[in-house]
């Protein structure tokens, strides 16, 4: 891993917001899935939750442009399971929905731990999501249309959350655990070795301040490579 790449990954990790997330409920169009993940990465969201209607549906490629490699996706088969998990993390659960009880999305305090549910493209949020959410939110519109594309709505709300969090100083201090930082530094900076570890059942090594692997001789032997050979390749 080059020093430049290591520094860029560290800067990204320093801005991650582990208590801001979205939950895609039945979103199924690949370009929407990818665009939501890309926006989450840009905002500093570290985790995305998704309720899938089909086992074949998963986040992949498209306009995500590799963003999915830097975000943990948590999968569920029911909306209730997803919301229960989010509330266990003490998050306020918001759902985008046009209703008499909905408030302007800008009136919400996003400096609190927050999860935003994004409903399915055609039908919107389910009744279960509406029943279990703490608040419905709307994006005011003055044209003929009553709703935005799901990925566009996601961007609008998340950038308001980012604005509030920046003003509150939540982007000024690293907030991810050291264990998680180490995992991402290894997987993102040394992807070939990460795949080999998973294949061989080896634990991830530590990454030092320069982005180099710190591991025992036994680890290198099990990797079937010497540290010196790796350094020659890495250089």
Residues 66, 101 within the same domain:
yes
pLDDT at 196 > cutoff 70: yes
Residues 49, 135 within the same domain:
yes
Q: What does the pLDDT read at residue 16? A: 97
Residues 112, 199 within the same domain:
no
- 96 in a known ligand binding site: yes
Residues 90, 153 within the same domain:
yes
In the chain, the number of structural domains is: 2
Residue-number span of the structural domain to which 82 is assigned: 17-167
- 148 in a known ligand binding site: yes
Q: Give dist(CA 103, CA 157) in Å, integer.
A: 13
- Residue at a domain's end among 115, 145, 167: 167
Residues 41, 120 within the same domain:
yes
In this prediction the pTM is 0.86
- Residue at a domain's end among 108, 137, 167: 167
Residues 103, 186 within the same domain:
no
- Residue at a domain's end among 167, 191, 210: 167
Residues 51, 163 within the same domain:
yes
Residue 88 phi/psi, 5-degree rounding, is -60, -30
Q: What does the pLDDT read at residue 225? A: 65
Higher pLDDT, 166 or 32: 166
**Rounded alpha-carbon distances, angstroms, from residue 148 to 81, 122, 132, 139, 140:** 27, 11, 23, 8, 10
For residues 219-232, give the mean pLDDT: 69
Question: What whole-number percentage of the chain has pLDDT above 90?
Answer: 65
* Residue 157 included in any domain: yes
* Residue 9 included in any domain: no
Band of residue 54 on the pLDDT scale cut at 50, 70, 90: low
* Residue 163 included in any domain: yes
Residues 161, 190 within the same domain:
no
Query: Is the Cβ–Cβ distance between 15 and 181 less than 8 Å?
Result: no
Residues 139, 92 within the same domain:
yes
State the sign of the Cα–Cα–Cα–Cα dihedral 163, 169, 172, 173.
Answer: negative
Band of residue 149 on the pLDDT scale cut at 50, 70, 90: confident
Torsion of CA 4, 6, 10, 11, to 10 degrees: 10
Query: Is the Cβ–Cβ distance between 94 and 132 less than 8 Å?
Result: no
Q: State both tokens at 202.
A: 């080896």
pLDDT single digits (tens) 58-71? 554 443 445 667 89
Residues 28, 107 within the same domain:
yes
Q: What does the pLDDT read at residue 99? A: 82
User: Cβ-count burial of 20 within 10 angstroms (0-12 exposed, 13-18 middle, 19+ buried)?
Assistant: buried
Residues 71, 143 within the same domain:
yes
Residues 213, 148 within the same domain:
no
pLDDT at 193 > cutoff 60: yes
């Amino acid at each position: 891993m080059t020093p430049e790449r290591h520094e860029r990954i560290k800067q990204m990790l320093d801005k991650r917001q582990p208590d801001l997330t979205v939950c895609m409920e039945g979103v199924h169009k690949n370009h929407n899935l990818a665009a939501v993940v890309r926006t989450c990465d840009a905002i500093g969201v570290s985790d995305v939750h998704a309720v899938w209607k089909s086992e074949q549906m998963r986040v992949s490629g498209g306009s995500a442009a590799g963003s999915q490699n830097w975000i943990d996706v948590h999968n569920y088969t029911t909306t209730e399971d997803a919301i229960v998990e989010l509330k266990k993390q003490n998050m306020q659960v918001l759902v985008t929905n046009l209703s008499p009880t909905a408030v302007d999305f800008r009136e919400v305090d996003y400096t609190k731990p927050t999860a935003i549910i994004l409903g399915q493209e055609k039908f919107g949020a389910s009744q279960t999501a509406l029943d279990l959410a703490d608040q419905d939110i709307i994006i005011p519109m003055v044209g003929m249309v009553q709703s935005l594309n799901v990925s566009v709505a996601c961007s609008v709300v998340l950038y308001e959350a980012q604005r509030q969090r920046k003003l509150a100083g939540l982007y000024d201090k690293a907030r991810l655990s050291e264990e998680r930082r180490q995992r991402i530094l290894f997987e993102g900076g040394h992807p070939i070795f990460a795949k080999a570890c998973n294949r061989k059942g080896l634990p991830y090594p530590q990454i030092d301040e320069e982005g180099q692997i710190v591991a025992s001789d036994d680890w290198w032997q099990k990797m079937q490579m010497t540290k010196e050979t790796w350094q020659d390749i890495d250089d």
